[in-house]
Every structure is written in C-alpha cells, then in structure tokens.
Amino acid sequence: MADTIQNNSDDAARARIYLQPIAAPSVLGLFGFAGATFMVAAHMAHWYGGASTDLYLAAFAATFGGIAQFTAGMWAFKARDVVATAMHGTWGAFWIAYGLLEYAFVSGTLHKPDGAFPALGYWFIVLAAITWMGAWAATAENGLVAAVLFFLAGGSTVSAIGDLVGSQGALILAGYLFIISAILAWYAASAMMLEGSFHKVVLASGKTEFARTEPRLVPGQGEPGVIRGQ
C-alpha cells in the first residue's frame, strides 16, 4: 500500500513538457537586418541620395531593421539560440534607436553634426565589441552567419573610427562592409526559408559539422524534450 502511494506521488511530481515548434526566427531577423542595413549602407557608400536621405530611411530602418528584427531576437529565446538572441536583439535595438535619433534631427530636438560625430562613434564602438564576440560564437555552428557578423563587426569598427575623426573615406568603406554583410544576411535568410519550405537543403546554409551532428533533442538533460536551435 505504501509503495502504491509512493508511486502515485512520483507520477504526480513528474513535469510535463509540451513541445511548441516555431519557425526559425532568424529568417525574419536576417531579412529585417539585411533590408535596413543595405538601404542605409548604400547611402553611406554614396550609391544614391543626398544629405537628407537618412531622414527618409529612418522609418524603414526602425520598423524593419528595428522592430521586426528585435522581435525575431525575442523569439530566438524560445529557439534557445544564444547567438541569434544576442545579435538580433542588439542590432534590432540599434535600428530602433537610429530611427528615434533621426526623428530627433527632423523635429529639431537635436542638431546633426556635419563632420565628426563622436556620440554616434561610441555607439559603434559598443556595437563592434558585441558583434565581434557574436561572430566568434557563430563560428561554432554556422560559417555563413559568422561571415555576416564578421563583416558587420568590421563595418562597425570602421564606422566608429569614421564618426570619431570625421572621415568620409572611413564611412564610405564602412558602408561597403555593411553592404557585404547585408547581402550575406539576405542569402542566409533565403537558405533558411527555402529549407523550411522544401524540407531539404536548397541553398548551402553554412552549418558546421558540429551543428549537423549535435543532438537537438536530448531527453533528460537540461530541459527534457525541448528542441534547441533553428
């Protein structure tokens, strides 16, 4: 009788895990990043536009690169993808802040400097420091995402220098590095989307051997029954 009571108690104490599969958050995150970054970086590289073009890009950057990407970063928590969480969250927040900054220029609340812009330069110092670490972490699982982040970190570093010293040449170079990062991000998001649609690899996704062989579902370890990754 005592054994029966004990068994019933053990059964009641067991945790129930309900799997809730979600689409890869980085599809939205990388597309949002690619779109906003390409549009702004092409202007930085002097491909188009004039002095006021950034003001017209602010809304697009803040919503697509900002809100959409930041949302993807929060969903990456659920996918247990630490790199995607950190990078989409960081850069999504940046693009929202960029939109707000440009709005402050338009409204006359702040004056946009014509030369050196140290305050924005320090923004990019912070972004570069975080993104270099994210690129390093990404090499463990996805070489393509790592490439996106390495070019992004390089662009952030050069942009920080350009804004700190007021060098247009450095900002143009940063624009080209950002453009390369945006194109790679577009390709990476496309590869993920096509794989999710066709249920097979259509475009090379850049996954490392470690990512391909690592168990995604390991009952009894950490969080039993919870799938990790995208």
The pLDDT tens digits of the residues spanning 122-151 come to 999 999 999 999 999 999 999 999 999 999
* Residues 126-147: b if buried by 16+ CB within 10 A, e if exposed: ebbebbbebbebbbebbbbbbb
pLDDT score of 220: 47
For the chain, the average pLDDT equals 87
pTM, 2 dp = 0.85
Asked whether residue 9 carries a pLDDT value surpassing 50, the answer given is no
Q: Lowest-pLDDT range, 74-78, 85-89, 163-167?
A: 74-78
Which residues are CB-contacts of 35 (< 8 A; sequence separation ≥ 6)? 60, 64, 65, 182
| Confidence label for 212 from pLDDT (cuts 50, 70 and 90) | low
Asked whether residue 5 carries a pLDDT value surpassing 50, the answer given is no
151-173: per-residue pLDDT in tens? 999 999 999 999 999 999 999 99
Rounded to an integer, what distance in angstroms lies between the CA atom of residue 145 and that of residue 165?
30
Under 8 Å between Cβ of 207 and 147: no
| Confidence label for 23 from pLDDT (cuts 50, 70 and 90) | confident
| Confidence label for 226 from pLDDT (cuts 50, 70 and 90) | low
Q: Where are the beta strands (DSSP E) in the chain?
A: none
Q: For the range 222-227, what are the long-range contacts, defined as Cβ-Cβ under 8 Å and sequence gap of 24 or more?
A: 223/17, 224/15, 224/17, 225/17, 225/19, 226/17, 226/19, 226/80, 227/19, 227/21, 227/79, 227/80
Distances (CA, A) of 225 to 57, 216, 228: 43, 9, 10
